[in-house]
Amino acid sequence: MSNNHFSIAIHGGAGTILRSSMTAELQAQYEQGLRSALDTGYAILQAGGSSLDAVEAAVASLEDFPLFNAGCGAVFNNKGGHEMDAAIMYGKTLEAGGVCGISHVRNPVKLARAVMQHSGHVLLAGQGAEEFARLQHLPMEDDAYFYTEQRYKQWQEALKEDVVQLDHTDKKYGTVGAVALDKAGNLAAATSTGGLTNKKYGRVGDSPIPGAGTYANNNTCAISCTGVGELFIRSVVSYDISCLIEYKGLSLKDACQLVVHDKLVKIGGEGGLIAIDKYGNIEMPFNSEGMYRACRDSRGRNEVLIYKTSTP
């Protein structure tokens, strides 16, 4: 099936990313963050590692990069804290792990993996999930670790206007994710997010939910989404693409086209996703202005992109 072909794709969120509000320096920083995460995951695949390890490492790298809305760069919620969501899924076994509304965990994607492998459950929430993280001896951080001046300013602005905001004053769906196919033909997907700036009431988006923001199945594809989480949940976006491939015989490209550029557009579901099918084909569709994204495969494809048209 795989001929030892392997591939990885990552994203750092979609939305209104305008060239006009981007400096060359900032763009270089974003590209560096994507490149570093991409190569981290790629190296694991190249060395014969599993897709599960590759997506976990790539997402952890994005979580550790302060410009993306996940891990240390997570946005502030309404109470001035950080509530993060993450998930991971393994296409070989359909095992999945997710966490929602967690604080203090340095790498939520690692907690998601621990949930998958050691909790006997699929989804853990809030303080209970944090308790489990401590039992699993995962690195924990105090609030200061999650402080970035940019995010704090965004929160203060949102508080002033009493709005629940996305990543930026520019409309941006801050999420990070990775999908991969390894040499053994196994698919995996992972997603992590800090959610919405100034969010209230314990809001949970699509990221931590298998079938919504994150899905992997060796029979079809691996998917990680970024966008208006509510509409992605209602549309069961990632499992929808899997079903269009499995039950309707669509190619990954056609399934992505239908879901991202037709079904989601019709309901106002702005955003995008990254996807790899069981043959290693990569799709990175989005219906917003831009999406931080990158991909690399064993046949030589190697891209780091932000806007609709390719970066140089």
Regarding 253 and contact with a copy of itself (CB under 8 A), the answer is: no
Longest CA span, the chain: 56
129 contacts a copy of itself (rule: CB under 8 A): yes
Quick one: 154 or 207, whose CB is closer to a copy of itself? 207
* Residue 208 near residue 305, CB atoms below 8 Å: no
State in angstroms the smallest separation of the CB of 220 from a copy of itself: 12
Work out how close the CB of 142 gets to a copy of itself at its nearest, in angstroms, rounded to a whole number.
21
- Which amino acid makes up residue 133? A
226 φ, ψ (degrees, to nearest 5): -150, 130
- Coil, helix or strand for 272? strand
Shortest distance, CB of residue 58 to a copy of itself, whole angstroms?
A: 22
- Please, what is the minimum distance in Å from the beta carbon of residue 6 to a copy of itself? 24
| Exposed / middle / buried, residue 169 (Cβ in 10 Å: 0-12, 13-18, 19+) | middle
Q: Which of 44, 123, 187, 282 binds a copy of itself (CB under 8 A)?
A: 123
Q: How far is the CB of 126 from a copy of itself (least distance, A)?
A: 4
- Identify the three-state secondary structure at position 218: coil
Residue 239 is a binding residue for a copy of itself (CB under 8 A): yes
Q: Active-site residue 226, yes or no?
A: no
Shortest reach from residue 188's CB to a copy of itself, in Å: 14
Question: Of 24, 25, 120, 149, which lies in the binding site for a copy of itself, with binding defined by CB under 8 A?
Answer: 120
Asked if 273 is part of the footprint of a copy of itself (rule: CB under 8 A), the reply reads no
Candidates 39-47, 149-157, 232-240, 291-299 — which segment interacts with a copy of itself by CB under 8 A? 232-240
Q: Which residue has the tokens 């076994």?
A: 93
CA atoms within a 13 Å half-sphere pointing along the CA-CB vector of 243: 9
159 binds a copy of itself (CB under 8 A): no
Looking at 203, 254, 281, 303, which residue binds a copy of itself (CB under 8 A)?
Answer: 203
Among 42, 68, 132, 286, binds a copy of itself (CB under 8 A): 132
Per the CB < 8 A criterion, the answer to whether 184 and 52 are in contact is no
Among 34, 181, 212, 284, binds a copy of itself (CB under 8 A): 212
- Tell me which of 109, 244, 273, 305 binds a copy of itself, using CB under 8 A: 244
Within a 10 A sphere around the Cβ of 213, how many other Cβ atoms?
Answer: 32
Query: Tokens for 61?
Result: 């790298």
Q: Is 23 left (phi over 0), alpha (psi -120 to 50) or beta?
A: beta
For 40, 45, 247, 302, the CA distances from 8, given in Å and listed in that order, are 10, 8, 25, 10
Q: How many residues does the chain have?
A: 312
Q: Which residue intervals of 1-87 are DSSP H helices?
A: 24-46, 51-63
Distance CA 205, CA 228 (A): 8
Establish if 258 lies at the interface with a copy of itself (CB under 8 A): no
Residue of 23, 93, 175, 214 with catalytic role: 175
Residues with catalytic roles: 175
Residues making contact with a copy of itself (CB under 8 A) = 89, 94-96, 100-101, 119-129, 131-132, 164, 200-205, 209-212, 215, 229-230, 233-236, 239-240, 243-244, 247-248, 267
